[in-house]
Chains A and B, each alone.
Chain A
Amino acid sequence: MLELIVSPTSYNLVENCDLCDAFILGEEQYSLRLAHYFSFEEIVDLMNICKNRKQKIYIAVNKIVHEDELDKIDKYLSKLSGLDIDGIIFGDLGVYNLARKYNLVNKLIYNPETYVTNYESVEFFAKKGIKKVSIAKEITLDDVLLIGSKELIDIDILGHGALNMFHSMRDLVTNYFKFLKDENANKYHNEQLYLIEEIREEKYPILEDQNGTHVFSEKDLCTIKYLDKFIENHIYGIRIDGIFKSDEELINIIEIYRLAINDYRLNKQLYIDKKAKYLENLENIENIRPFYEGFLFKKTIYKGGENGKN
């Protein structure tokens, strides 16, 4: 059945939410773009709470690792190897190499966000003995289902949340205010701002943090209507990403996905009949970020033409 995985917005939320099957937890210095960062002690506490409720814990070690951080990551993996965790999410293949030392390879979940876009690539990582692969969010529903149907390895995808579109190592907000000779150039560091391109209307969230600068889609991907297809084509998990959400908004979203999966479990027709209702319930969540279908029905163009701004 489809695992409901949540990237949470706070300690409180994890402490009190038993609706999902798994949480993604991470510390600021090892992970990227989490809605909330935890201390190691908090992670250990929450793990004990979650274990009692039969929820899984995946630890995010998904940062892009620079050479001088290898030791730090190595030590962290050693520390994690002593915990009863269910998975380690990584996006840099250096982490794979280090994990071998601690017999952690079978806990690894490869999520580089943009790179896993075909079933041959999935098979490559399946053969590396890892636990799971997260496939890219920039491919169509047909492609997602085709990859799943090959049953190569446990696969999850983004179920609900913002699409990260851009990650620079540079401090692109602070740099800009320095360029403007602003005396307090880093005043927006760690603050969510947004961008609008000069001939477009979309508002893209932009966030500068300790890992550089990230730009996101205006809307959240929403897959509530396709859970049956995921289940039937061997997609084993969906991630609900808490980024840019309050605890309340996130809990409301989790509840609706939980209900939908449970409905399917009871009776597939019930789930199908209620699709419009789930959507309506999502839309009715106060302050919810607008949502859309991302790339599920938008095939990107292989190679560019002469068109488009350049």
Chain B
Amino acid sequence: MEKIDGIINNKRVIVKKPELLAPAGDLEKLKIAIMYGADAVFIGGKEFSLRARASNFSINDIKESVRFAKEHNAKVYVTTNIIAHNENLFHLEAYLSDLYSCGVDAIICADPFIIETAKRVVPNLELHLSTQQSTTNSEAINFWFDEGIKRVVLARELSVDEIKAIKSKAKADIEVFIHGGMCVSYSGRCTLSNNMTDRDANRGGCAHSCRWNYRLYANDDEMLSDKLGYYNLSSKDLMAIPFIPDLIESGVDSLKIEGRMKSIHYISTVVGTYRKLIDDYCIDPDHFVLNNLYFDEISKAENRLTSVGALAGKPTENEQLYNVRTEKPTQEFIGIVKGYDEIKQIATIEQRNYFTKGEKVEIYGPGFMKQFLTISEIFDEEFNEIDVARHPRQILKIKIPFKVYPYDIIRKTREL
């Protein structure tokens, strides 16, 4: 087995740092994820991918993604994770060849048809088995390894102890979800959406029927659910911060963040936080303290309730989401930095949400850099001074007395 730690200058350090894998719903998000510290990103092409609305990368976009990623020493994985019906059995060969010539590092797949075709058409393309196969034990992993699967994304039903036990016996590399939305059912084995809406959950159409409101009845028609509320099946989102040290020590190969639909504010905050956490732990694991810093930071991007999922064992009522209407507003994302003129101390930014002069903001960037500011002057592109930034994606100039960089993000400071 690979060595996980070693002694350097009389101090234990982690030598096998797991990959931090982030979602990217479009090219801008991909660049943000990589700039904020993702070692790899996963994206969806227009075909054979789940998450229909977040799967929009054309072959040219994928080429550009790979180019940008390589430049920053990052990897690109493409999801081809549908469970195909007979009508989906065509055009895959050409698509896989295109992906291979784009230079993608791996595809994430679930259907044996896609696995077999890839092995035949692009034998050098790395194959990852999607969580859609809900793989929960080392024998199943080793079955797939023998079929040519390099890495298995584990089911989200596993505790950290189970993950450790699996890792010690699995021949394939192991990828574990650490953050984001969760299926409450075993993934790939749920057809609520198919049954209730005709939308195929295993072919990119999941309607999230598990998140709807239900009433629960006994067989004699007595209503058992709360008279004022509803019965829900849904799960809180996953947030694995407390378990990152254990996961690193277990030697798993990749830690995955879910959320190709999420904003760049979310991606930058979540990726940035886990990047810092992993780096802080690996450099000095024996003196590492899991302080509030990580939790506070990640909560700025979260608008859904989170829990540790199954990582601490079989989920209880605390990991369930019982009232959907508990979303809280996230700390407001108002713009992204496009450039900075050091002489004039003027930043060029792209507006993302309404803000005014006098707004107190936090500017953060890759490497967990943070600075605070009260916005004193706002100009439009022609340097006409304005008081209010109200046009989405308008290019603006604002006075910032310290250096900022492209990809830095500006958000309102949370009122306490």
Contact = CB atoms under 8 A, between A and B. Distances in A.
B21 to A, nearest CB: 23
A139 B200 CA distance: 10
A67 interface: yes
Contacts of B301: none
Contact of B198 (A94, A192, A300): A300
Interface string A251-292: 000000000000000000000000000000000000000000
Contact of A93 (B143, B158, B199, B212): B143
B189 interface: yes
A96 interface: yes
Interface string B211-226: 0111111110000111
Contacts of A200: 196
B83 A70 contact: no
B189 A167 contact: yes
B315 A308 contact: no
A117 B84 contact: yes
A120 interface: yes
Contacts of A120: 84, 89, 111-113, 116-117
B310 interface: yes
A203 B216 CA distance: 10
A98 B139 contact: yes
A76 interface: no
A64 B203 contact: no
Contacts of A179: 317, 320, 322
B137 interface: yes
A206 B208 CA distance: 18
A68 B139 CA distance: 11
Contacts of B190: 114, 165-167
B84 A304 contact: no
B186 A172 contact: no
A268 to B, nearest CB: 26
A147 B143 CA distance: 24
A94 B195 contact: no
A113 B189 contact: yes
A11 interface: no
A250 to B, nearest CB: 18
Interface string A87-128: 000001111111000000000000011110111110011000
Contacts of A121: 84, 111-113
A195 B217 contact: yes
Given A167-B190, A301-B199, A194 B219 contact: yes
Contacts of A95: 139
B53 interface: yes
A188 interface: yes
Nearest 8 pairs of A and B residues by beta carbon: A94-B139, A304-B205, A120-B113, A124-B112, A300-B200, A303-B52, A94-B140, A303-B204
Interface of A: 64-70, 92-98, 112-115, 117-121, 124-125, 138-139, 143, 146-147, 163, 165-173, 175-176, 178-180, 188, 191-198, 200, 203, 206, 213, 215, 217, 295, 298-306, 308-310
Given A118-B84, A166-B210, A309-B197, 20 more contacts: A93-B139, A93-B140, A93-B144, A94-B136, A117-B83, A117-B202, A163-B195, A166-B185, A170-B235, A176-B320, A191-B218, A193-B219, A198-B215, A215-B233, A295-B194, A298-B198, A303-B203, A303-B205, A309-B208, A309-B209
